[in-house]
Each structure stands twice: as C-alpha cells, then as structure tokens.
C-alpha cells in the first residue's frame, strides 16, 4: 500500500481541526477581552426583568430591613451572620404574626362576600344580616343557600374583626405596661 492510499483511509474529520469560536459571540473589529463578561450581562438581564418585582413592598409584618449591595449590584451576604444583623432585625412577634394571619383571613372572607353580593338583592341581604345579628332570626331558618352562606360569612367576618380588635388592645396594653416599667 503506497502513501497516497494511506492518506485516503483516514476520515476527513480527523484531518481537519475545527476552529472553536467564542460561544457568546463577538463584535467585528473588537477583541474578546473588551467585551462584557457573560455573568455581568446575565446580572443586567435579571435586574431588568425582576427589578420591578423586587421593588414591591413586603406584606404586613415583613421587616423593613434591606441587605447591603456592593459595587456590582450584588447582595453583600457577608453581614448576615453577624451580631449587628441580629440587633437590627426586629424580633419575631407572635402577636404580629397572628394579627397578619387574621387580617389575611378577614380579607379573604370579605372578598368572598363581595363576590356573593351580586347574587342577592341589596335590601334582602342587609335586612337578613341585621335580623341575625339582633337574634330575631336564626341562621337555620334561612332557606336560600346563597343567603345562608352570605350570613355565615358575615358572622365569620364579625368574629375575625372582634378577635383582631382584642389582640390589638392586648398588644397596646402590654406596650403600656412595658413603657410604665421603663419610666419608673
């Protein structure tokens, strides 16, 4: 077998070397070193896409503490394990958590009632609620299921409002006692 035949038996892909280009692309007449770092471009995209969502305020009871940001716009995680972080972060409050939970349940109940309002005549629902609250009418006597559910939700909303008011009053009383001890 001569030399020319040996060269023909080698596959073409083994002879040719593929020149690998930059997987992120490039700009003509600009060296790759002057292009932006791919991670920086990704950070910019995330900041643009999720920026409005991250600027939304937190729900009730959320601490108003925001972590530090370094020069590149990244979160500086270094201080979260320190004593300063624990001092600045508000303490967990069982009362605040319970108030937020009851407030969310009350809000949900009111939304359901508002949806149901459109099924019932205004005068009827007002009169039935008034009579049930005064004890003139028993809930079990209501035959219309929509009206029955509306009254049940109305009573639930009243109970939730009363419980929220009671918790708030107890919290204020506790704060007054603490303030009195500090002053004395």
Inform me whether the pLDDT recorded for 107 exceeds 90. yes
> Mean pLDDT across the stretch 60-85?
61
More confident residue, 103 or 18: 103
Residue 169: predicted pLDDT: 95
Tens digit of pLDDT for each residue in 31-56? 766 666 777 778 888 888 888 877 77
More confident residue, 174 or 62: 174
Measured distance CA(28)–CA(30) in Å, rounded:
6
> Mean pLDDT across the stretch 53-82?
63
Which residue carries 């039935």 as its tokens? 128
Residue 6: predicted pLDDT: 55
Q: Which has the closest alpha carbon to 45: 33, 32, 36, 57?
A: 36
Inform me whether the pLDDT recorded for 156 exceeds 90. yes
pTM for this prediction: 0.50
Residue 77: predicted pLDDT: 60
Measured distance CA(27)–CA(44) in Å, rounded:
19
Tens digit of pLDDT for each residue in 1-31? 566 555 556 666 555 666 666 666 667 777 7
Inform me whether the pLDDT recorded for 59 exceeds 90. no
pLDDT band at 144 (very low <50, low <70, confident <90, very high): confident
Residue 23: predicted pLDDT: 67
Which ranges of the chain does DSSP label H, i.e. alpha helix? 3-9, 12-15, 38-54, 83-88, 94-117, 122-134, 145-183
Of 31-45, 76-90, 92-106, which range is least confident? 76-90
């Amino acid at each position: 077998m001569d030399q020319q035949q040996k060269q023909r038996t080698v596959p073409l892909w083994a002879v040719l070397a593929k020149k690998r280009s930059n997987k992120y692309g490039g700009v003509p007449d600009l060296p790759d070193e002057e292009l932006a770092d791919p991670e920086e471009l990704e950070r910019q995209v995330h900041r643009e896409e999720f920026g409005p969502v991250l600027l939304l305020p937190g729900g009730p009871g959320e601490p108003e503490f925001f972590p530090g940001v370094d020069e590149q716009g990244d979160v500086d995680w270094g201080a979260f394990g320190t004593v300063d972080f624990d001092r600045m972060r508000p303490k967990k409050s069982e009362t605040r958590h319970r108030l937020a939970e009851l407030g969310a349940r009350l809000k949900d109940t009111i939304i359901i009632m508002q949806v149901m309002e459109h099924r019932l005549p205004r005068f009827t629902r007002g009169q039935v609620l008034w009579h049930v609250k005064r004890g003139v009418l028993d809930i079990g006597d209501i035959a219309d299921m929509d009206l029955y559910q509306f009254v049940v939700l109305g009573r639930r909303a009243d109970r939730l409002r009363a419980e929220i008011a009671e918790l708030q009053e107890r919290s204020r009383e506790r704060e007054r006692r603490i303030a009195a001890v500090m002053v004395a």
